[in-house]
Amino acid sequence: MRTSQPQTIYLSDYKVPAYLVDTVDLRFELFEDGARVHSTLAIRRNPDSQESAPPLELDGDSLVLESVALDGTALSESDYENRGEQLVIRSVPERFSLSVVTWIEPQNNTRLEGLYKSSGMFCTQCEAEGFRCITFFPDRPDVMARFRTRIEADQKAYPVLLSNGNDVDRGELDDGRHFMTWEDPFPKPCYLFALVAGDLVEKRDTFTTCSGRDIDLRMYVEPRNAEKCDHAMDSLKRSMRWDEEVYGREYDLDIFMIVAVDDFNMGAMENKGLNIFNSSCVLASQETATDMAFQRIEAIVAHEYFHNWSGNRVTCRDWFQLSLKEGFTVFRDSQFSADMGSPTVKRIEDVTLLRTAQFAEDGGPMAHPVRPASYMEISNFYTLTIYEKGAEVVRMIHTLLGPELFRKGSDLYFQRHDGQAVTTDDFVRAMEDASGRDLSQFRLWYEQAGTPMLTVSDEFDEGQGVYRLTIEQTIPDTPGQTNKKPQHIPFALGLLGSDGQPLPLRLASDEAEAPTERVLELTEGVHTFEFHDIPSEPVPSLLRHFSAPVRVRYPWTREQLLFLMNHDPDGFNRWDAGQRLAVDVIQRLIGSPDDAAIDPRLVEAYRKLITDTDLDQALVAKMLQLPSEAYLIELAESADVPAIHRARERVLEHLAEALRDDLVACYQRQQETGPYEVTPAAIARRSLRNTALGWLLMINDDEGRALAVRQLNEADNMTDRMGALRALVNSDYEADRRQALDDFYDRFRDDPQVVEQWFSVQAASDRAGQLSDIEQLLAHPAFDWKNPNKIRSVIGSFAGQNLAAFHNPDGSGYRFLADQVCRLDDSNPQIAARLVTPLTRWRKFAPAYSSQMQSALERIRDKDGLSRDVYEVVHKSLAG
Ligand code: B3K
Ligand code: ZN
């Protein structure tokens, strides 16, 4: 817990560590009332450090210090200073061994950082600064050591004892206890340390690497989850193969382990050789997990596995470099998912997240560069900017270099920095050195926050056959940053002729063979490009594949958007044109009378999507999703959420009424024929069917209702069951909704992952998730204040997805959220700080809302003993 005013930490203050640790020898004695940790460190002065005879400073948090010995001699209390958060020994030799014994209480650890208990098992989470909650240590990623770990525990309660590396010893002890010793040959920062002890079942498989080594793959789960491991195991093997084929990366240890735990602050953690997962991000079966969950699990398993190279073998010098491993690894997992499924759909999903949530972050009070210059609490910087924008930055390098040079660059990066803790700049330099390209201006993407805005205008000179495109870039001010420099932006585009055919893009009139798509490189404030031999006024297809994380402003007409929806060879831009058209229609309706007309062209465009079975059905399934309320808010100047919600619902209802018969036909056409599969085609089928169902229930269609009830009872998979449940929950059929929810709960009450979905579908619904309903969910016996998934599925879904209810004009939603944040701040500050996010956006909303959001933030600010996590978010949000 915080004892003083939180301090700001600056990148510019970085100093190399004064001492290095070569080896760490750990012995854990695990008991029900606590754990004793014996640590012996082999320490030596860092030859690169300029300091002369610096004191040894070790980090610690919530530790009871039992003893300290230097080179085997016990130190007395006058030899060291235990400042609580630091253990300082003023004078130490050049090279020595330090033995420290600490006592900790995992059973009372509700922050879920360091060593804690979850469903009766011991587990750890050390990134970013959790290792200091286990023992005193220089808890920074540029101190890399070889770890040896002995775990001792009761044999019956904890038959499985795991840590990083290879198991080298095991045996029995007195009193029914046993031990196991693990040794990790690869030096690693302490944030990658992990320990697990529990009564778990083991699932085994093997993988033969490209050089012919057999790797032992193991998953450890609670016995009731034994049947839910296959998908993750298959995903792991696909990831291992893919990383060999696409990046030339082979796995290094002989064992790779995955453990599922129920109480976990985030999705998963890439500890060396021992990945720990939130149960909801690894366990799946057809009956209990939706298609989305299957895809998410595959992506997260891949992401954590890929970290073995991008993160573990080559790690971060300091936490300002977090995107070095996260941005690159998200880019790698998105390439993997694209290869495993539909690349266009994957791109649409990534861009949707980026444009709604990351752009909002980049335009809000917590905006920070991909490489931040300062922070108070590093846990607050595991953000969409570090992860998703960071991945977009790597993607742009890939676009600028092309796949071959990019691969040369990544090979050089891994070879040059293997075993080192490095910076984002080292990554860019490897890309430069391998490709010969100058990326100095490109580096601004790491330094400047804010989403660049590209304003595009064009003119067509019919006489000359020249089409001129002018692109101006501006980057908005963000906290602490003004007057930004133009960035280096790859801008992919194509031009379509009046017949819908792509035109050759001749940048010079004498260019013979011209491509129909080009990547223009923007480096200045304004650029004008001329395209020659253009027969008639073209329709531009701008920023294809979303080639840069920017906003584009161009005066599209609805005709142009409809034309692009039908003809653009870039699937992503077809989808984007549809989104822009729908946004335009919805925006015009906001605040207008209920009988205002809705453009019939939108209806016809959607009719074509629903009825034309020759179209790519996976793309169609995405195109049918109207822009979300969150995205419409992001686009608004001063958002009135209930008005946005009404306008969007009116468009949905209008579409559903006009297309009613086509929707029923679409539903019937998409019936499942074969066994359940998670392929793009099958996912699209289920998505289309469930979209049709949802729309029919929006208009209280009795046939739709009957279809939903039948689907709910007969579904053989969770996607269809959840699709029907969601449709009923969001409908006006109140009795059916209640019945459906009760039946569903009775069927799945023993499965926490499904109960989380059950909470979430209600909390996110404007029909079933009014504030009084949310309060009832919090009082439900299955709700658990210690379990982050439950908190997210009720409170997070309400504030993040049930936007009309959260933004109730009476301010009750805001006060409710503030109260929950204050309550959680004591038990789990990381989760509390995440939950504040919707309030931090107060400047986006119309004054009646924003003033009440500010009051809610003030209410949190005034809580006694506020954690550093929440302090930082709340103070930055209220500032300025
Ligand atoms: N590296 C972890 C995230 C750790 C978050 C710590 N607050 C998971 C991941 O990104 O792979
Ligand atoms: Zn990661």
Check residue 478 and give its pLDDT: 98
Q: Is 67 exposed, middle or buried (0-12, 13-18, 19+ CB in 10 A)?
A: exposed
Torsions phi, psi for 566 (to 5 deg): -90, -30
Q: Reply yes or no on whether the pLDDT at 839 is more than 60.
A: yes
Closest-CA residue to 192 (of 421, 36, 524, 9): 421
Q: How many CB atoms lie within 10 A of CB 404?
A: 10
Residue % of the chain over a pLDDT of 70: 99
Give me the domains of the chain, ranges plus CATH numbers: 1-199 (2.60.40.1730)
Q: What is the DSSP letter of 792?
A: I
Residue 507 identity: L
Q: Pick 632 or 591 by higher pLDDT.
A: 632
Task: Compute the distance from residue 872 Cα to the ligand 1 centre, in Å.
Answer: 19
Residue 1 confidence (pLDDT):
46
Q: Atom 3 (ligand 1): residue with closest C-alpha?
A: 269
Which positions are catalytic? 304
* Nearest CA-CA partner of 216 in 228, 224, 225, 208: 208
Percent of residues, the chain, with pLDDT higher than 90: 98
Closest CA to 517 of 554, 551, 565, 568: 568
State the alpha helices, DSSP H only, in 730-863: 734-748, 752-763, 771-778, 788-791, 797-801, 803-806, 812-827, 829-835, 837-840, 847-861
Question: Tokens 């929440």 sit at which residue?
Answer: 870
Name the residue with the closest Cα to ligand 1, atom 4. Answer: 127
Residues with CB under 6 A from ligand 1: 127-128, 266, 268-270, 303-304, 307, 326, 379, 382
**Residue 2 above 70 pLDDT?**
no
Ligand 1 atom closest to the Cα of residue 830 is 7
Q: How far apart are CA 706 and CA 708, in angstroms?
A: 5
Looking at every residue in the chain, the average pLDDT score rounds to 97
Which ligand number lies closest to the CA of residue 268?
Answer: 1
d(CA 840, CA 366): 8
| Distance from residue 557's CA to the centre of ligand 1 (Å) | 43
Q: C-alpha angle with apex 785: 782 to 786, nearest 5 degrees?
A: 105
b/e per residue 134-151 (b: at least 16 CB within 10 A):
bbbbbbbbbbbbbbbbbb
Q: In angstroms, rounded to a whole number, what is the distance separating the alpha carbons of residues 755 and 306?
A: 30
Task: Give the C-alpha separation, 706 to 712, whole Å.
Answer: 10
How far apart (Å, rounded) are the C-alpha atoms in residues 126 and 224? Answer: 27
Which residue from 281, 11, 1 is spatially nearest to 113, judged by alpha carbons? 1
The predicted pLDDT at position 880 comes to: 65
Rounded Cα–Cα distance for residues 342 and 87 (Å):
53
- Please tell me the distance between residue 153's alpha carbon and the centre of ligand 1 in angstroms: 28
Q: Which is nearest to 250 in space by CA: 298, 198, 313, 181?
A: 313
Measured from the Cα of 303, ligand 1's closest atom is 11
**Which protein residue has the closest C-alpha to ligand 1 atom 5?**
127
Cα–Cα distance for residue pair 215/205, rounded to 1 Å: 9
Going from the Cα of 183 to the center of ligand 1, the distance in angstroms, rounded, reads 23
For residue 595, what pLDDT is reported?
87
**Confidence class for position 84, pLDDT limits 50, 70, 90:** confident
> Closest ligand 1 atom to the C-alpha of 270?
11
The full DSSP string for 761-773 is HHHT-TTT-SHHH
User: Distance between alpha carbon 503 and the CA centroid of its chain, in Å?
Assistant: 38
Distance 266 CA to ligand 1 centre (A): 7
CA dihedral (361, 367, 373, 376) positive or negative: negative
Dump pLDDT digits (tens) for 641-681.
Answer: 999 999 999 999 999 999 999 999 999 999 877 899 999 99
| Choice from 269, 308, 315 to test ligand 1 binding pocket (greatest atom count within 8 A of CB) | 269
Ligand 1 atom having least distance to the Cα of 268: 8
- pTM of this structure: 0.99
Mutate to test the pocket of ligand 1, among 112, 123, 126, 127 (most ligand atoms within 8 A of CB): 127
Q: What is the pLDDT of residues 293-312, one digit of tens each?
A: 999 999 999 999 999 999 99
SS3 labels along 290-317: CHHHHHHHHHHHHHHHHCCCECCCEEEC
- Over residues 123-177, the pLDDT tens digits come to 999 999 999 999 999 999 999 999 999 999 999 999 999 999 999 999 999 999 9
Single out the residue of 36, 28, 61 nearest to residue 197, CA to CA.
Answer: 28
**For residue 326, how far is its CA from the centre of ligand 1 (angstroms)?**
8
Nearest ligand, CA 265: 1
pLDDT in tens, 464-488: 999 999 999 999 999 999 999 999 9
Confidence at 3, pLDDT banded by 50, 70, 90: low
Q: How far is the CA of 2 from the centre of ligand 2 (A)?
A: 27
The dihedrals phi and psi of 763, each to the nearest 5 degrees, come to -65, -25
Whose Cα sits closest to atom 9 in ligand 1? 269
Kindly state the helix (H) or strand (E) to which residue 208 belongs, with its residue range.
strand 201-208
Tokens of 815: 């006060």
Count of beta carbons in the 10 Å neighbourhood of residue 778 = 19
Please name the residue whose Cα sits nearest to atom 8 of ligand 1. Answer: 269
> pLDDT by residue (tens digit) across 693-752?
999 999 999 999 999 999 999 999 999 999 999 999 999 999 999 999 999 999 999 999
Taking the CA of residue 127 as reference, the ligand 1 atom at the shortest distance is 6
Q: Whose CA is nearest to atom 7 of ligand 1?
A: 379
- Ligand closest to the CA atom of residue 833: 1
pLDDT at site 672: 77
Q: Which atom of ligand 1 is nearest to the CA of 267?
A: 8
Ligand 2 centroid from CA 771, angstroms:
34
Pocket test for ligand 1, best of 133, 296, 319, 326 (most atoms within 8 A of CB): 326
Ligand 1 atom with the shortest distance to the CA of 265: 7
Contact residues for 663 (Cβ-Cβ < 8 A; gap 6+): 610, 656, 692, 695, 696, 704
Taken as a whole, the chain contains a residue count of 880
Q: How many CB atoms are closer than 10 A to CB 461?
A: 12
pLDDT tens-digit map of 506-522: 999 988 899 999 999 99
Q: Tell the residue nearest (CA) to atom 1 of ligand 1.
A: 269
Task: Give me ligand 1 centre to Cα 130, in Å.
Answer: 12
Q: What angle do CA 588, 593, 597 make, to 5 degrees?
A: 60
